[in-house]
Amino acid sequence: MPIRQITIIGTGLIGGSLALALRKKRFRGKIIGCDQPDVLRRAKKIGAIDKGIGDPIKAAEGSDVVVIATPVGTIIDLIERLGLHLSDDVLLTDVGSTKSEIVSRAQKIFGNRASHRFLAGHPMAGKENSGIEFADADLFRGAVWFLTPLPKQNVSTGLAGEYVSWLKKIGADIAELDPAEHDQLCAWISHIPQFVSTALAASLVDEYGEDAPVLDYGGRALREMTRIASSPYSMWRDVALTNKRHIADALLKLEQRLAHIRENLDSRQLEDEFDRAHKLKSSAAPRAESAERRQK
């Protein structure tokens, strides 16, 4: 079933990049953006959207697919708001960084039609900067796009299948996970890196002050470790609230590991920690290869 019109609610970094990526891969339908007026003007100026509408319900009118590309808390609220107005043949999907609470809300709103009307997704792509001015048509190329299907949901058929085919066209590697499994995994591979970076940057400010040129002194390693510390709290607040259990568990295990390292700075057990860490690098398969295996 060809998609004739897509609405993207939240035309910032992710939503704007999705729109640009679709355009680059010659999506011929209309793309409607929904956001603040200044964001929509910018999105239209760079060719990401055909039209901008501020009201989500009005923006969704006439679209076959509606993508919610906002912070997680707003996604949860919009599922309920839009669910009361969208026709039964419209696919609603999202790009939220956590999935369990989002899927739970969709099941509550759509009932036994949830697997037909909602597709939960999460692209593992982004930047430390947010906003439409940082949108990039190649943002998703080679990135994993997680889908967390509902029970008995087939993501290869109907509108879901057509939408997923476009995700593949823009370069994303599709991987399917259970929502709870997704949240536990992303606590480690996405959320913990952010909080570690935030903690390190905040500690450096406390130790040396706001104006000390520590990044210049530290070189590339420190810049890489603290790069994402500039990510907006407004996005990570909702991630922390909706994935608190998994993040807290991962932080505790990391704290214990750091304590073990601190207690063994003068022993051979420190070498064991380095050897253990090196196994992560040596066992890591190239992204394209691992993505291919996931599809088999």
CATH number reported for the structural domain that contains residue 168 in this entry: 3.40.50.720
Residues 250 and 189 in one domain: yes
Q: What does the pLDDT read at residue 95? A: 98
What CATH number does residue 275 fall under? 1.10.3660.10
29 and 169 co-located in one domain: yes
Residue 161 and residue 271 in one domain: no
Domain count, the chain: 2
Query: Confidence band (pLDDT; 50, 70, 90) for 82?
Result: very high
CA distance 259 to 157: 50
Lowest mean pLDDT among 38-42, 52-56, 229-233: 229-233
Rg (CA), the chain: 21
177, 205, 222 - which closes a domain: 177
Specify whether 15 is located in the same domain as 143. yes
Picking from 135, 150, 177, the residue at the C-terminal end of a domain is 177
At 294 the pLDDT is 37
Mean of the per-residue pLDDT values of the chain: 93
Mean pLDDT (whole number) for 107-132: 93
Q: Residue 235: what pLDDT? A: 86
pLDDT of 287 higher than 60: no
Read off the pLDDT band of 194 (50, 70, 90).
Answer: very high
Question: 43 and 170 share a domain?
Answer: yes
The predicted structure's pLDDT at residue 123 = 97
Per-residue confidence band for 1, with pLDDT thresholds at 50, 70 and 90: low
In Å, how far are 32, 109, 259, 277 from 105, measured between CA atoms? 24, 6, 39, 38
Average pLDDT in the 194-223 region? 94
Beta strand segments in 69-184, E: 91-94, 118-119, 121-123, 144-147, 173-176
Mark whether 132 and 29 lie in a shared domain: yes
- pTM > 0.85: yes or no: yes
Residues 74 and 116 in one domain: yes
Cα 16 from Cα 33, distance rounded (Å): 9
Q: Say yes or no: 115 and 199 in one domain.
A: no
The whole-angstrom separation of Cα 220 and Cα 159 is: 45
Say if residue 32 is in the same domain as residue 65: yes
153 shares a domain with 20: yes
Q: Which domain holds residue 95?
A: 5-177
Domain boundary among 177, 199, 217: 177
